[in-house]
Structure 1
Amino acid sequence: MKFPTLHPRRVVPLIVACAVFMENLDSTIIATALPQIARALHEDPLHLSLAITAYLLSLAVFIPLSGWVADRHGARRVFRAAILVFTFGSVLCGLSQSMPQLIGARILQGLGGALMVPVGRLVLLRAIPKSELIAAMSWLTVPALFGPILGPPLGGLIVTYASWRWIFFINVPIGLLGWWLVTRFIDDTRAETRAPLDFGGWLLVGSGLVLLVMAFELLGKNLLANAVVYAMIVAGIALLLLYAHQSRQREAPIVDLRLLRIASFRISISGGSLYRCCVGAYTLLMPLMLQLGFGYSAAASGGITFVSAAGAMLMKATAPRIVRRFGFRPLLLGNSLLSAVFLLGCAQFAAGTPKLVMLGWLLVYGFFRSLQFTCINTLGYADVPPSRMSQATSFSSTAQQLSLSVGVGIGSQVLNTARALHGGGALVASDFQHAFMVIAALTAASALLFRRLSANAGSSVSGHPDSVATPD
């Protein structure tokens, strides 16, 4: 049978986007199914949340290794292997008969996800010319938004009408198809020189990230004393600062902080991390506000939040033209402030707000939020030399994972603080209003970081004419 010829530049973004979608969907879909899984395994649902934490910790440990592994063994080979590891881990999750088995399978899944997403992004960056990077990157923002939105309602449907095990088994056909597509359409690439593994640096970074991710997952949940959680945050930051100091003497550091000398990459990481923190908080706050604050069912809540993904799809078709017309700096500044306005609008939602109003508001917010992610992700690689692209993808993926965890922790902590101000007890709608105001302020603050971009930042990628003036 003869297959139609497809241009790699068209199919590679789709392949990588599918892998990203599978990882993003899986990381959120399990939360809805936890009560049913706990009953099936005869465990306390609170204890079973370790299945989520184990996955996040596995990501934190192994993402920094992704660039070194890709350089040493080839990006296509590692990408294919990561898809298979993730798929095999999914099968083991579905077959688990006890909590330890499920946690072990989730750790294996995390290993696959930690390599699959950043190495997939590296495959895309090496296959796509910079002039076509915006269109390619816009595909990657869609699954990043679809996963957290689609995961809860899809998980609810699966556990209601089928076995909870299918939330893992659905990854099998996607993974096998992805492996075949990578084999057929993606060429193998690897670095010309193979640096030795910075094992000591990896231990410092991995330990620091594990402490921070664990702490921000626990923040606001009252599972440990606040003093213990804050001590974990301090210890995690201290380990990362120690790594930053020692990495100056390392020839090939596991996370290359020298990349921060590239202005566009540095601002993409700093401003992008602050913006992504707020999106992480939003994905926690919006479903909780609809269900706990307004009394919506899980299905009704999912139907409203899902509309943001439709806005993201609209953005995909228009992003290249928008970036070419305005350039990165005005868009990143404007989108930060617009996103803050939309979050302030979310704070005005009430139980009596018409659903159509909420749907329209979140649809447009989804468009601008996705456009912001496309700009951030594309700008970050605009000026990175090809020889350092693998280090840049692992650095960027590490920052993304940490910022999302921090965002969820911030959202939880702000909710707890707001609840404490009215004497504790159940969460009420006003608690969520205060939380949305806080993350709106933080989103607006990210504009101060993007303001430091030069007027012609990323012009070789955006196609936007260089500006004469360049701010300091």
Structure 2
Amino acid sequence: MSDQIYQAAAIGRAKPNFRVIAMIVASAMFMEQLDATVLATALPTMARDFGVSAPSMSIALTSYLLSLAIFIPASGLIADRFGSRTVFRAAIAVFVTGSIFCALSPNLLCLVLARLLQGLGGAMMLPVGRLVLLRSVDRKDMVNAMSWLLVPALIGPILGPPVGGLIVTYLDWRWIFYINVPIGIIGFTLVSIFIEDFKGESKRRFDTVGFILSGIALGSLLFGFESSSRPGEAAFSLFLIAVGMLFGIAYLKHARRHPSPIMDFSLMKVPSFGTSVIAGSLTRITQGAQPFLLPLYFQLGFGLSAAKAGQLVTAAALGSMAMKAVAPRVLRRFGFRNSLVANGVIATCGYALCAAFRPDWPLALIFAFLVMCGFFMSFQFTAYNTVAYDEIDRDRMSSATSFYTTFQQLMLSLGICVGALALHTSMTVNGSETPQLHDFSAAFLFVTAISITATFWNLRFARSAGADISGHDAGKAAHAAEH
């Protein structure tokens, strides 16, 4: 009945502006992205309340990652079957319900179960939110819309730790989860009013075996990458990564035989999509490592307080917000390929120069530099996430969004792993018990050296890639006509 009311209200109403749709989706994604990192700061306080050791609280983080890993690949098929608006609203409702249960948890076991439920909602929100945007916004407005959408994905992990610190310091840790309730209610209402319900035409049979194999593979890999950033768990993380790789190989063999696998690797044969996945994955090594390395760098290397370090790290968030007004013009003038090649080098080298930061640098200069780093990196992911779908047929859009989001989440976690591994390796080589400035410098240089290899893949984009999205060819034609 409620759906009929909303559909009736929509009759005769103009299609909402793409900014409205983008901000609705972005708000839900921001809630999920912020929640994924805000908890880390509160773990010691929660451990005292639950009467357990602080290290044992890490399961509250990994249980959420496990739920994401299992359910993200299935999100596209579920959205096709039940409708993108229906699934998106349900995802928000499940996420908020899980948040309430987290806040009410009397012990660690209840918290873990609630985080699993919360992760189920988050797993649906990430790819289905992007699918809603792709199906609701005209191609000519896609760059603008995607630039708005990417802001929460970049600033959520950065704002999480300082926001968590403020809540724990001045409020009860349970407010970390209660703040999701009003955001979720508003999001649910706006989705019901402004978002149309799209269902896929595909009648694919659900790939149960693939669902199990991919869930074990991705869950083990994410658990392994996440645990590798904690001291004393190297053997366990290597074991999990090995298990993930074995089940990943088993899934690939299964997918070749299945007519509609839950993760469709044939999408990698689509030039713009496959290139964007690979180049974007390499670049996300740097993006994933920064929220791990920068706060430690400023606290352990510079001796700053957690609050002061958090203020510095938020500079990247300001840069990413400033980018959204610039991206459409740059892409229209230079096209996706040229922009990705040039900006990719600038963005990666910018974070590499963080290795030169030292305590005697003016904090205002460091803040301004991080603003620029956030600006260029945000532009890069706006371009990747837009051009990826340039050649994807409408009936494969849901599969593509779940596939892309799976790799996005995996590579962000791998970025933490690589950053931690580089830091610990430098400490071992230099015989340091605690990380020194030169250890952080080595870690920054290592992760950015990996990401700079994305340049070779950026050069593989066709010069005409995404031309009708960016308007690049139209711009050249108009310029030629004037002369």
Return the TM-score normalized by structure 1: 0.96
Partner in structure 2 of residue 344 of structure 1: 352
Which residue of 298, 301, 312 corresponds with 2:309? 301
Which residue of 148, 160, 167 corresponds with 1:139? 148
Deviation at 1:310, TM superposition (A): 1.1
Partner in structure 2 of residue 369 of structure 1: 377
User: In structure 1, what is the Cα distance between the partners aligned to 2:115 and 2:352?
Assistant: 36
- Give the residue type in structure 1 aligned to 2:358: A
User: In structure 1, what is the Cα distance between the partners aligned to 2:349 and 2:196?
Assistant: 44
Partner in structure 2 of residue 185 of structure 1: 194
Contact 2:229 2:416 in 1 (8 A): no
Contact 2:78 2:87 in 1 (8 A): yes
- Give the residue type in structure 2 aligned to 1:301: A
Listed as ranges, the gaps of 5+ residues in structure 2 are 1-8, 478-483
- Give the residue type in structure 1 aligned to 2:346: L
Q: State how many pairs are aligned.
A: 466
**1:203-249 superposed Cα distances (whole Å, 9 cap, x missing partner):** 111111011111111114234353x4323223212221222222122
- Give the residue type in structure 1 aligned to 2:250: L
Contact 1:201 1:247 in 2 (8 A): yes
- Give the residue type in structure 2 aligned to 1:111: L
- Give the residue type in structure 1 aligned to 2:270: I
**1:362-402 superposed Cα distances (whole Å, 9 cap, x missing partner):** 11111100000100100111111111000000000100010
Structure 1 residue 238 and structure 2 residue 241: aligned? Answer: no
User: In structure 1, what is the Cα distance between the partners aligned to 2:396 and 2:233?
Assistant: 41
Map residues 445-456 of structure 1 onto 2, 5 A cutoff.
445-456=453-464
Runs of 4+ displaced beyond 4 Å: 2-6
User: In structure 2, what is the Cα distance between the partners aligned to 1:116 and 1:141?
Assistant: 14
SS in 1 for 2:246: helix
**1:251-298 superposed Cα distances (whole Å, 9 cap, x missing partner):** 111011111110000011001011012110111101110011111111
User: In structure 2, what is the Cα distance between the partners aligned to 1:286 and 1:406?
Assistant: 16
Contact 1:25 1:151 in 2 (8 A): yes
Contact 2:202 2:395 in 1 (8 A): no
Which residue of 416, 423, 432 corresponds with 1:424? 432
- Give the residue type in structure 2 aligned to 1:244: L
User: In structure 2, what is the Cα distance between the partners aligned to 1:216 and 1:289?
Assistant: 20
Contact 1:142 1:313 in 2 (8 A): yes
Partner in structure 2 of residue 40 of structure 1: 49
Structure 1 residue 328 and structure 2 residue 343: aligned? Answer: no
User: In structure 1, what is the Cα distance between the partners aligned to 2:144 and 2:299?
Assistant: 36
Which residue of 193, 198, 211 corresponds with 2:207? 198
User: In structure 2, what is the Cα distance between the partners aligned to 1:149 and 1:220?
Assistant: 17
User: In structure 2, what is the Cα distance between the partners aligned to 1:345 and 1:223?
Assistant: 30
| Residues 67-76 or 234-243, more deviating | 234-243
Partner in structure 2 of residue 433 of structure 1: 441
Contact 1:343 1:439 in 2 (8 A): no
Identical pairs, percent: 45
Partner in structure 2 of residue 398 of structure 1: 406
| Residues 267-276 or 447-456, more deviating | 447-456
- Give the residue type in structure 2 aligned to 1:381: Y
User: In structure 2, what is the Cα distance between the partners aligned to 1:142 and 1:121?
Assistant: 13
SS in 1 for 2:375: helix
Which residue of 346, 350, 363 corresponds with 1:355? 363
Partner in structure 1 of residue 76 of structure 2: 67
SS in 1 for 2:126: helix
Deviation at 1:8, TM superposition (A): 4.5
Contact 1:339 1:443 in 2 (8 A): no
Aligned-pair RMSD on alpha carbons? Answer: 1.7
